[in-house]
Amino acid sequence: MEIEKDAIWVFGKLEEEKVNPLSQKALSPARFLAENLNKKLYLFLFSEEREINREILQGLFCDKVVSVFNEKFKEAGSEAISLAFEKLVKDYSPFAVIFPLTQEALSVCGKLAGKLNLGVCVHVKDFKLKNEKIIMTRPGPCEDLLVELSLETSPLLIVLSQSHFIYKPSENAQKLPEIEILHLEVSENLPIKITKRKKIKTEENPLVKARLVLGAGCGIGDRESIEKLKRLAKLLGAEIGGTRPVCYAGLLPEERMIGISGVSISPEIYIAFGISGRIQHTAGIENAKFVVAVNTDENAPILQKADLALIGDAKKIIDCMLKKLENQ
Amino acid sequence: MAIVLCVKAVPDPEDIKFDKKEGRIVREKGTLILNPPDRHAAEIALSLKEKTGKKVIALSMGPPQAEKILKEIYSLGADELILLSDRVFAGSDALATGYILSQAIKQIKDLSFVVMGEKSIDGETGILPGILSAMLRLPLISGVREILYVSKERGLFLREQERFLEEVEVSGKAVISVKSNLEYLRPPSLKRLLKVEEVKVSVWNKEQIKADEKKVGFSGSPSKVISVFEEETLKRGEIIKEAEEKLCLKLIETLKKKGFLRGNQWK
């Protein structure tokens, strides 16, 4: 197999003949590293099927896709995948391995780190290059803090945050990648076996695709105001989301939580009512095209994210909106 | 036989402040709480105890004040409490923490399962179960929600992994990480709450777990913190300070401009 050493790898999974969308998204920051460090970019696709449909390569901006197959991936999941991946990492010593934030990727990455004694950086939302060294940014232990880290072991193991930065690849990266199909042996006898598997029927969270989202924060954190916001949302055809405290207080269901612990949204307009804007929340609105902050506090961190800030009482503004929209 | 339950004391998120001048985190009251996902892990560990008759050993790495959270686990039903506490452990990242926990677990005889929460809320987001399982050379079952069957030789667990529910069978020992969405969490026992003050917490230091000093704390941690900072001002748009009535009109105007509230029906 032709695989250059010292390359950038992305961990990917082939699910129901499709590339896991989070692995595909992870190619974007990986591309940034590959282009700036002048390294090759490979997507490793672990697959439960022997064959791969070449149509899926469309839009994968990497130099090569390595599809790795073994029957045990289906039987033993991440246990088998991590053994196979460990072997590949040892044989081809990549410069960095980038993982999307999925439970399976976390298991594989953790196993790799523990086995090979490597440091890991989890929840990375941004990279910087400084003298060929990669500096990673991730949220700190307190809500509005960010931490910059570096790793002293090689290869670098990086798990991305769900709302990491998007990088547009250069023209020459946009051609179809080569594909290599690899049937890898996993010799060890594995003590675990997946005996049944059932797809969880989930309706897609309406927040994810909403064009207009109204967000509720502690400034309107009482039942009456939330009810009014719901009325307003109905009038505007908007979806409602909230911050962690609002959801934990039971004012909105947890599926409505926006941010690191909840969903990431990308509406045309996001209106944040009474939200101070801690990073746990704002990490989920980074892809909103236009952000309106309604807040009494001129110094609230949400203002740093806002295209338009309305300094005033969110409750009164909601009342006023309702009056105008309901009275005609 | 023993079930090891790993728990973590985390700073109360409400208590953390940032000192801008010094560029460091200040914990004003120093209050520690039980990492909320670990409450779910405790439920699975204690159910395993009921089903197998094995004892539950609660294990935590942290400062002496972390005894408090171990006692909280005692009130739920744990049999033994062990605190891994040594000055050299301070500053350990996920890899060094995995090493310390694995060294401690290796000292425990007749191990069956290691149970832990799926993540901790103060930063190391979910990587530890994988690291620990690799260091102990045990399989990992992540995202467990229910014990379907357990005997001396094997266990069958229901777990949630991304979009799938899976039944996973394991023969022998394993590390189990528990999903934080269990519907039932047992309340503390009154009898145990009354005894909680007298319960002894064993404190183990680096010698007791035979840890190599080079692999723990700051020196044993390959991830190095370069700086901690508050999120910068990335963009500052138009700021309007007016009576709410006017702000409301501005908001309606903005919505219209962006293609919402189409038509003239809006006053």
List the beta bridge partners of residue A14. Answer: A19, A47
How many interface pairs between A and B have CB atoms less than 8 angstroms apart?
Answer: 274
Per-block mean pLDDT, blocks of 10 residues, chain A (328 long): 91 87 89 92 90 82 91 91 95 96 94 97 90 87 79 95 74 76 82 91 81 94 94 94 89 88 88 90 87 92 90 95 86
Sheet holding A290-295, edge to edge: A239-242, A212-216, A269-273, A290-295, A308-311, B238-241
List the beta bridge partners of residue A148. Answer: A137, B227
Residuewise pLDDT in 10s, chain B (267 residues): 899 999 999 988 767 777 766 666 676 677 899 998 999 999 999 999 999 999 999 999 999 999 999 999 999 999 999 999 999 999 899 999 999 999 999 999 999 999 999 988 877 679 999 999 999 999 999 999 999 999 988 999 999 988 889 999 999 999 999 998 888 999 999 999 999 999 999 999 999 999 999 999 999 999 998 888 876 655 568 899 999 999 999 999 999 988 888 644 443
Q: What are phi and psi of A191, to 5 degrees?
A: -80, 0
Question: Any chain B CB within 8 A of the CB of A153?
Answer: yes
Q: What are phi and psi of A188, to 5 degrees?
A: -65, 145
Paired tokens of B47: 């159910």
Which among A109, A123, A303 has the least Cβ separation from residue B239? Answer: A303
Q: Please, what sign has the CA dihedral across residues A142, A144, A149, A155?
A: positive
Q: Which of B124, B139, B138, B120 is nearest to A120 (CA)?
A: B124
Give one word for A38, left, alpha or beta, with left for phi > 0 and alpha for psi -120 to 50.
left
List the beta bridge partners of residue A10. Answer: A43, A98
Burial of A189 (0-12, 13-18, 19+ CB in 10 A): exposed
Using an 8 Å CB-CB cutoff, list chain A residues near B237: 291, 306-309
Distance CA B93, CA A195 (A): 35
List the beta bridge partners of residue A193. Answer: B169
Using an 8 Å CB-CB cutoff, list chain B residues near A197: 164-167
Using an 8 Å CB-CB cutoff, list chain A residues near B33: none
The Cα-based distances of A256 to A184, A207, A287 in angstroms read: 42, 7, 17
- Are B139 and A140 an interchain contact pair (Cβ–Cβ within 8 Å)? no
Using an 8 Å CB-CB cutoff, list chain B residues near A324: 248, 252, 266-267
Using an 8 Å CB-CB cutoff, list chain B residues near A271: 251
Using alpha carbons only, what angle is made at residue A20 by residues A121 and A291, rounded to the nearest 5 degrees?
Answer: 70
What local confidence, expressed as pLDDT, does residue B264 receive? 44
Using an 8 Å CB-CB cutoff, list chain B residues near A112: 130, 134
Q: Which of B199, B213, B242 is nearest to B90 (CA)?
A: B213
Q: What are phi and psi of A247, to 5 degrees?
A: -70, -40
Distance CA A63, CA A66 (A): 10
Nearest C-alpha of chain A: how many angstroms from B265?
7
Summarize pLDDT for A22-63 with one digit per residue, the tens.
898 899 899 999 999 999 999 999 988 878 888 888 878 899
Q: Which helix (H) or strand (E) holds B248?
A: helix B244-257
Nearest CA in chain A to B14: A142
The Cα-based distances of A89 to A2, A78, A285 in angstroms read: 14, 16, 35
Which among B95, B170, B237 has the least Cβ separation from residue A119? Answer: B95
Enumerate residues 6+ apart whose C-beta is below 8 A from B134. A82, A110, A111, A112, A113, A114, A115, B98
* Global ipTM: 0.86
What local confidence, expressed as pLDDT, does residue B266 receive? 44
Nearest C-alpha of chain B: how many angstroms from A197?
4
Which among A121, A193, A271 has the least Cβ separation from residue B169? Answer: A193
List the beta bridge partners of residue A101. Answer: none
DSSP 8-state class, residue B204: E
Which of A117, A137, A201, A323 best tests the B interface by mutation, with the highest count of B CBs <10 A? A117
Q: Which of B181, B141, B138 is nearest to B159 (CA)?
A: B141
Give the ranges where B29-135 is alpha helix by DSSP (H): 36-52, 67-76, 94-106, 128-135
Nearest C-alpha of chain A: how many angstroms from B58?
22
What local confidence, expressed as pLDDT, does residue B12 receive? 80
List the beta bridge partners of residue B164. Answer: A199, B161
Q: In this structure, which amino acid lies at residue A99?
A: F
Give the ranges where A42-77 is alpha helix by DSSP (H): 72-76
Give the SS3 label for residue A124: strand
Q: What are phi and psi of B150, to 5 degrees?
A: -150, 135
Burial of A227 (0-12, 13-18, 19+ CB in 10 A): exposed
What local confidence, expressed as pLDDT, does residue B235 receive? 59
The Cα-based distances of A114 to A1, A5, A12, A98, A110 in angstroms read: 27, 22, 20, 16, 6
Q: Are strands B2-7 and B9-11 parallel, antiparallel or unpaired?
A: unpaired
Question: Any chain B CB within 8 A of the CB of A257?
Answer: no
- Are B139 and A191 an interchain contact pair (Cβ–Cβ within 8 Å)? yes
Length of chain B: 267
Enumerate residues 6+ apart whose C-beta is below 8 A from B262. B256
Nearest CA in chain B to A312: B244
